[in-house]
Amino acid sequence: MNKRVGASIIAGGILLIAIVFQVINVFTTDEDSENMASMFSGSEKPQEKVIEQGSASKRIVQLNLEGTIMNNPGSNPNPFSGGGYQHEQFLKKLETIKEDPSIKGVLLHVNSPGGGVYESAEIHDKLLELKEADKEFYVSMGSMAASGGYYISTPADQIFASNETFTGSLGVIMENVNYQELANEYGVKFNTFKSGKYKDIMSPTREMTEEEREIIQTLVDDSYEEFVDVISNGRDLPEERVRELADGRIYSGKQAAENGLVDQIGFQEDALQALKEQIGGNPQVIEYKNSVGSFFNLPLAESFLPNSEVRYIEELISERQGPKLMYLYSE
145 in Cβ contact with 68 (< 8 Å): no
CA atoms of 179 and 108, how far apart (whole Å): 41
Q: Which of 155, 226, 200 is nearest to 322 (CA)?
A: 200
Total residues belonging to the chain:
331
Q: Which residues contact 18 (CB under 8 A, 6 or more apart)?
A: 74, 76, 317
- Report which listed range, 15-24, 230-239, 300-309, 312-321, is most confident: 230-239
Question: pLDDT band at 289, cuts 50/70/90?
Answer: confident
Distances (CA, A) of 38 to 77, 118, 298: 11, 23, 19
Whether the predicted pLDDT of 31 surpasses 70: no
Q: Which residue has the higher pLDDT, 313 or 221?
A: 221
113 in Cβ contact with 120 (< 8 Å): no
Report which secondary-structure segment, H or E, holds 115: strand 114-116
Render pLDDT for 252-281 as a digit per residue (tens, 0 to 9): 999 999 999 999 999 999 999 999 999 999
Give 69's DSSP letter.
B
Q: Can you give the pLDDT at residue 213?
A: 96
Whether the predicted pLDDT of 166 surpasses 80: yes
In single-letter form, the type of residue at position 118 comes to Y
- Which member of 38, 199, 308, 330 is catalytic? 199
Render pLDDT for 180-218 as a digit per residue (tens, 0 to 9): 999 888 999 999 999 999 999 999 999 999 999 999 999
Q: Can you give the pLDDT at residue 261?
A: 98
CA atoms of 322 and 200, how far apart (whole Å): 12
Q: Can you give the pLDDT at residue 240?
A: 97
Q: Can you give the pLDDT at residue 247?
A: 97
Render pLDDT for 98-152 as a digit per residue (tens, 0 to 9): 999 999 999 999 999 999 999 999 999 999 999 999 999 999 999 999 999 999 9
User: Does the annotation mark 43 as catalytic?
Assistant: no
CA atoms of 17 and 11, how far apart (whole Å): 10
- Which member of 147, 223, 232, 294 is catalytic? 147
Render pLDDT for 98-107 as a digit per residue (tens, 0 to 9): 999 999 999 9
In single-letter form, the type of residue at position 158 comes to Q
Question: pLDDT band at 293, cuts 50/70/90?
Answer: very low
Kindly tell me the number of DSSP H helices and DSSP E strands found in the chain. Answer: 12, 11
Render pLDDT for 50-95 as a digit per residue (tens, 0 to 9): 999 999 999 999 999 999 999 865 444 444 444 578 999 999 999 9
Q: Can you give the pLDDT at residue 45?
A: 80
User: Does the annotation mark 199 as catalytic?
Assistant: yes
Q: Can you give the pLDDT at residue 54?
A: 96
| DSSP string over 256-278 | HHHTTS-SEE--HHHHHHHHHHH
Q: Which residue has the higher pLDDT, 178 or 37?
A: 178
Q: Can you give the pLDDT at residue 295?
A: 42
Angle at 165 (CA atoms; ends 134, 128), nearest 5 degrees: 20
pTM: 0.79
Q: Can you give the pLDDT at residue 81?
A: 43
Render pLDDT for 226-251 as a digit per residue (tens, 0 to 9): 999 999 999 999 999 999 999 999 99
Q: Can you give the pLDDT at residue 128?
A: 98
Report which secondary-structure segment, H or E, holds 292: none
Q: Can you give the pLDDT at residue 42?
A: 47
- Positive or negative, the Cα torsion across 30, 34, 39, 41? positive
Torsion of CA 129, 135, 138, 142, to 10 degrees: -60
